[in-house]
Amino acid sequence: MSSKAQLKVGDPIPSFELFDQQGNTFKSADHIGTPLVIFFYPKDHTPGCTAQACSFRDHESEFADAGALVVGVNSGSVDQHSGFSEKYNLNFPVLSDPDHSVRKSFGSPGLLFTQVADRVTYVTDKDHNVAYIFKSLLLATSHVSESLNFIKSLK
């Protein structure tokens, strides 16, 4: 099975619907007009992913002030995301993509034979075209500074 080519700057993101950590449906189309900062990450409760999610949490108001919505995505269940969000007081949607369909629709590579999300962040413009991509597995918290600096540069 061939995977979709990875999205590039200028490409529209695929429209998607996933459940958030509270079991509510998150529809990307409901947020047209708002830039999105979508970060795919490997796993809840691991050191790098926790640091990344908490860093997005700590800077969420800066993203909001710049008019952007932060969204985390991985294959964890709604229940797993609920516990992760509660433990770390996450203040943005954390979406469950159990079959990796959304990650794969972005053409985002996976680890372990694509069974685990790689760490990649997509920043969109208000029309949901990719404006910036940052990929780094090891520099988890850099995703926040990289995407925040980019969002602020748009203002």
β-pair type (130-135, 69-74) = unpaired
Cβ neighbours of residue 79 closer than 8 Å, sequence gap 6 or more: none
Cβ neighbours of residue 72 closer than 8 Å, sequence gap 6 or more: 39, 41, 53, 56, 90, 92, 93, 94, 95
Catalytic residue positions, numbered:
49
Helix (H, G, I), strand (E, B) or coil at 115: coil
Q: Which helix (H) or strand (E) holds 32?
A: none
Residue listed under structure tokens 């208000």: 126
- Both tokens of 138, joined, read 């090891």
